[in-house]
A = this chain, B = another copy of it.
Amino acid sequence: MSSTSERLVESTRELLWERGYVGTSPKAIQQRSGAGQGSMYHHFNGKHDLALAAIRRTAEEMRAKAEEQFSGPGTVLERIGAYLLRERDVLKGCPVGRLTQDPEIVADAVLREPVDETFAWLRGRLTELLEEGRTRGELAPGLDPAATASAMVATLQGGYVLARAAGSTEPFHQAVTGILQLLATHSTK
């Protein structure tokens, strides 16, 4: 199952992660995938079309990976901790969050849609988990689920920014540790 079309999408996914939409050329995609010019334009209408397929797949994959931790075993706090502390390629950054810095993606409703949807889902899912924690008596009632959920997703995304600025994973881990410590304060266990 390593069709040309498949290799084109995978190469585009890698390049979007590494260089963004503006920084990725059709030529680079062709070279990385081993597909020729004619081949690429046979399977896809162009850079935009290919990027859309790549972004949709990356977004879907990210949601699936997160749901693994969210629906795993343990208390709400343990599941959130498992998600935040999951192994990540920190210096590469988030393949979805990265796209929000691309002017041509943000300006294009079609390309932005899967990015928007992913973070909306992520914030919503974490809000649900925090509400579940409160209902179960694991978390203090004073906690604001929606605001806390957004702060956690933002901490992850910003942690990548700090790590890439420093050329080190250290600030990422500090940030994640920080938000988890603050959250732990609200644990009733």
- Contact of A153 with B175 at beta-carbon distance under 8 Å, contacts A22-B23, A100-B161, A161-B97 already known: yes
Q: How far is the CB of A37 from chain B (nearest CB, A)?
A: 22
* Alpha-carbon distance between A51 and B128 when the two chains are bound, in angstroms: 44
* A64 contacts partner chain B, Cβ-Cβ < 8 Å: no
Which of A's residues lie within 8 Å of B, judged by CB?
18-20, 22-23, 93, 96-98, 100-103, 106, 112, 115-116, 118-120, 123, 142-144, 146-162, 164-167, 171-172, 174-179, 181-183, 185-186
Task: Please pick, from B19, B118, B144, B159, the residue contacting A154 in the complex, using a CB distance under 8 A.
Answer: B159
Q: How far is the CB of A50 from chain B (nearest CB, A)?
A: 18
Could you name 19 residue pairs across A and B whose Cβ atoms are closer than 8 Å?
A20-B101, A22-B23, A100-B164, A101-B164, A106-B164, A116-B165, A116-B166, A119-B171, A147-B177, A150-B174, A150-B175, A151-B174, A153-B175, A154-B179, A157-B157, A158-B158, A161-B161, A182-B185, A185-B186
* Alpha-carbon distance between A33 and B62 when the two chains are bound, in angstroms: 41
- Contact of B148 with A153 in the complex, beta carbons under 8 Å: no
Residue of B nearest to A182 (CB): B182
- Contact of A100 with B150 in the complex, beta carbons under 8 Å: no
* Alpha-carbon distance between A186 and B183 when the two chains are bound, in angstroms: 11
Which B residues are CB-close (under 8 A) to A159?
A: 150, 154, 158
